Amino acid sequence: MTWQPINVPQRTIMTPGPVEADPRVLRALATPIVGQFDPSFTHIMNEVMEMLRALFQTKNQWAFPINGTSRAGNEAVLASLIEPGDKVLVPIYGRFGHLLVEIAQRYGAEVIELHCEWGEVFEPQLVIDAIQLHEPKIVACVHGETSTGRMQPLQEIGMYCREKGVFFVVDAVASIGGVDVRVDEWCIDACIGGTQKCLSVPAGMAPITFNERVAEVITARKKVEQGIATADDLCDVTTFTPIATNYFDLAMLMDYWSPRRLNHHTESTSMLYALREGVRLALEETLPVRFARHAYHAQALQQGLRAMGLELFGEETHALTCVTCIQIPEGVNGDRVRQFLLTHFGVEIASSFGPLHGKIWRIGTMGYSCRKENVLAVLSALEATLIQHNVRVVRGEAIQATLAFYMATEYATQ
Ligand SMILES: Cc1ncc(COP(=O)(O)O)c(C=O)c1O
């Protein structure tokens, strides 16, 4: 049997992740491997920490990636903070709130869930009231809920948590690099980002940052694994609860991401090159310009969708600008439409989960995929596909409306 080389089709990826990797990121992935303690590599590690601080808009010392997909970042932070029996409050407004609950429960937390309708977000005062009532140790919240395309305002909640000494953990997986995320200003104690969305890096790393309040708790739970522990690391584990995971133990990871360079795991060298290039691209573009670009192309897309006669889903005031949700017209099989788009146009869009499965489509305008030709491609493909599926749409207007929008604005030439 002869195995053929990998040969994947050319796609226009307009999902909320993974999106198209930036060509510069793909080139960075081809950089030769160096040893993880080679000074040339540890130099890159330090650079990445510095770049992540800028991306997260924080002065925190601790900013580094976890090897693993975005949920690895969620798990590392929650596992390192939670001791069995700790109260964790989770406001849930979509699928990824449930993920925070799932992780927290697996580490023995007593979880208090707050729920609102999918498509809406929480009035901050509601969360504050729940904090007052339940007095949790941690509030864990999603910033940009990819499954519903909504964004939770965080600052008020963060300020209240800080005042009460509650840890505020935020999943900014979908928003980092595409939407403003202000870790310090919003009093976020620990924040997790994603690579495969607005950073246009493949999945496989989760940049995180956390402050000294978090570091203090983690350090107090530090147990270095036998085989690499020194005499100074010896501790009496009957006097405290060590972190319940080795791979996601932030205490050991802090020792790896600092001058000690504790030999904990083998760093994913190539992914670190990729992350570095993805964040370099974001900082080169500058965060304000990048956020404006994401909002701008989403607006262009939405002009076209509305002109086609489609209805958008969700409360507009709290829209996550990089994920546009569309109501699937009555009687239309959403998955069949998506399959047609992929088969005939090479365009990928997403469905959603739970109560929204079969009810909405989601189109991402993220990172490298967030550009004019992609927006125009998805609109024209969608219109033609809907006509093929006997959906009554306004014909020929979508592209014209979006082109008019582009031509009337200064970004038209980009
Ligand atoms: C908001 C949010 N959190 C967490 C995750 C989990 O990320 P991953 O699939 O990379 O583990 C996702 C993935 O889409 C997400 O959108």
Using CA atoms, how far apart are residues 52 and 207, in angstroms rounded to an integer?
Answer: 7
Asked, for residue 2, whether it belongs to a domain, the answer is no
Kindly report the backbone phi and psi dihedral angles of residue 68, in degrees, each rounded to the nearest multiple of 5, phi listed first.
Answer: 140, 170
Asked, for residue 8, whether it belongs to a domain, the answer is no
Check whether 412 has a pLDDT greater than 50.
no
Q: Are residues 80 and 183 in the same domain?
A: yes
- For 45, other C-beta atoms within 10 Å of its C-beta total 20
Q: Are residues 255 and 404 in the same domain?
A: no
Q: How many structural domains comprise the chain?
A: 2
Mark which of 260, 282, 304 sits at the end of a domain. Answer: 282
- pLDDT over 70, % of the chain: 99
pLDDT at 92: 98
Ligand 1 geometric centre to CA of 232 (Å) = 38
CATH assignment at residue 184: 3.40.640.10
Helices (H) then strands (E): counts for the chain:
13, 13
Q: Are residues 328 and 355 in the same domain?
A: yes
CATH assignment at residue 303: 3.90.1150.10
- For 270, other C-beta atoms within 10 Å of its C-beta total 16
Ligand 1 geometric centre to CA of 188 (Å) = 19
Instruction: With H, G, I as helix, E, B as strand and everything else as coil, classify residue 218.
Output: helix
Asked, for residue 17, whether it belongs to a domain, the answer is no
Query: Which tens digits make up the pLDDT trace of 341-354?
Result: 999 999 999 999 99
Mark which of 233, 266, 282 sits at the end of a domain. Answer: 282
Which residue's CA is the closest to the ligand 1 atom numbered 7?
70
> H-helix or E-strand containing 13?
strand 12-13
Q: Are residues 137 and 234 in the same domain?
A: yes
Q: Are residues 210 and 76 in the same domain?
A: yes
Say if pTM beats, i.e. exceeds, 0.85: yes
Is the model more confident about 396 or about 414?
Answer: 396
Q: Which of 19, 67, 71 is the pocket-test mutation for ligand 1 (most atoms within 8 Å of CB)?
A: 71
Asked, for residue 262, whether it belongs to a domain, the answer is yes
**Is there a contact between 169 and 99 (Cβ–Cβ < 8 Å)?**
no
Q: Are residues 276 and 310 in the same domain?
A: no
Q: Are residues 101 and 200 in the same domain?
A: yes
**Cβ < 6 Å from ligand 1: which residues?**
17, 69-71, 96, 99, 142, 146, 171, 173-174, 194, 203
Instruction: With H, G, I as helix, E, B as strand and everything else as coil, classify residue 115.
Output: strand
Q: Are strands 110-115 and 87-92 parallel, antiparallel or unpaired?
A: parallel
Mean pLDDT for the chain overall: 97
Q: Are residues 330 and 270 in the same domain?
A: no
Asked, for residue 409, whether it belongs to a domain, the answer is yes
Ligand 1 geometric centre to CA of 74 (Å) = 9
Range of the domain at 51: 22-282
Asked, for residue 13, whether it belongs to a domain, the answer is no
Residues in the annotated binding site: 362
Q: Could you give the C-alpha distances from 276 to 32, 133, 263, 284, 390, in angstroms and in order?
A: 15, 42, 21, 12, 46
Q: What is the DSSP letter of 120?
A: B
Q: Are residues 211 and 72 in the same domain?
A: yes
Ligand 1 geometric centre to CA of 382 (Å) = 26
Mark which of 254, 282, 310 sits at the end of a domain. Answer: 282
Nearest atom (ligand 1) to Cα of 143? 1
Query: Which tens digits make up the pLDDT trace of 193-241?
Result: 999 999 999 999 999 999 999 999 999 999 999 999 999 998 999 999 9
Q: Are residues 340 and 216 in the same domain?
A: no
Burial of 369 (0-12, 13-18, 19+ CB in 10 A): buried
Asked, for residue 15, whether it belongs to a domain, the answer is no
pLDDT at 411: 55
Check whether 62 has a pLDDT greater than 90.
yes
Asked, for residue 9, whether it belongs to a domain, the answer is no
Q: Are residues 168 and 277 in the same domain?
A: yes
Ligand 1 geometric centre to CA of 307 (Å) = 31
Using CA atoms, how far apart are residues 68 and 353, in angstroms rounded to an integer?
Answer: 23
Q: Which amino acid is at 79?
A: A
Q: Are residues 256 and 313 in the same domain?
A: no
Nearest atom (ligand 1) to Cα of 172? 1
Check whether 413 has a pLDDT greater than 60.
no
- pLDDT over 90, % of the chain: 97
Nearest atom (ligand 1) to Cα of 142? 1
